[in-house]
Amino acid sequence: MTTFNSETPIGHLVAKYPSSARLFDRLGVDYCCGGDRSLRTACAEEGLDADTVIRMLESDVDLDADDGAEGESTNWAAAPLDELIDHIEETHHAYLRRELPRLESLLEKVAHVHGTDAPWVVSVKEVFAELRPNMEAHIEKEEEVVFPFIRACVEEASPPSPDVLGGDPIALMEEEHDETGAALKRMRTLSHDFAVPEWGCNSFRAVMDGLESLETDTHRHVHKENSILFPRARALV
């Protein structure tokens, strides 16, 4: 009998077996913003057969000692919420603060030099120019409002009601995650899967590699929030 069920929400599956994220990244299957969809539905949306993907999972995932996505060994689905929040801030938020300015500078350079030969890179630059401030504002809201709200829930310290915070702060973060996911997908489409032209210089290669890494890290980041942190936090409210 197979370990994986095609009707399991894909976000739940990745939460239980973090290393499965590598396969879903390779296949282009969304497990972060669309983590509440069944594995079958997520695969169908990408034109993939769920039974075939399940066989690939059974081959790729170490069920006895899952080594975690990107070398992580912590089971975040079971870790204390304050530790998960610390991890998100110290790993994913720190990554964004470091990488977003670097990528914007590289995109400006590449678009200026190669925009005539590869006009699509100008379109990528325009999408990124809107994405960067949105992502920076998003992580500020998480650190200043949403995460303190969750920490207060954990500590049972009479957290402020959602109305005081301007509505449901977690729902707002999930909505912004969807917007970020759409922008990343748009850049992937415009860049033909972050392809580098044969004549592309080192800067061209660096920015395409950087954008693909940004997409991968964001998938991990959003998955930990949408499929692990936020559902567990809601259970405390």
The band of 116, judged by pLDDT with boundaries at 50, 70 and 90, is very high
Half-sphere exposure (CA, 13 Å, Cβ side) for 187? 28
Query: Is the confidence at residue 101, as pLDDT, over 50?
Result: yes
Domain limits of the chain?
A: 10-71, 81-234
Residue 47 has a CB neighbour count (10 Å cut-off) of 7
What pTM was estimated for this model as a whole?
0.83
Strand-pairing partners, residue 9, are 38
For the chain, the first-to-last Cα distance in angstroms comes to 38
pLDDT tens-digit series, residues 142-157: 999 999 989 988 887 5
Phi then psi for 162, rounded to 5 degrees?
A: -55, -30
Q: What is d(CA 208, CA 229) in angstroms, rounded to the nearest whole number?
A: 30
Range with the lowest mean pLDDT among 59-73, 87-101, 113-127, 181-195? Answer: 59-73
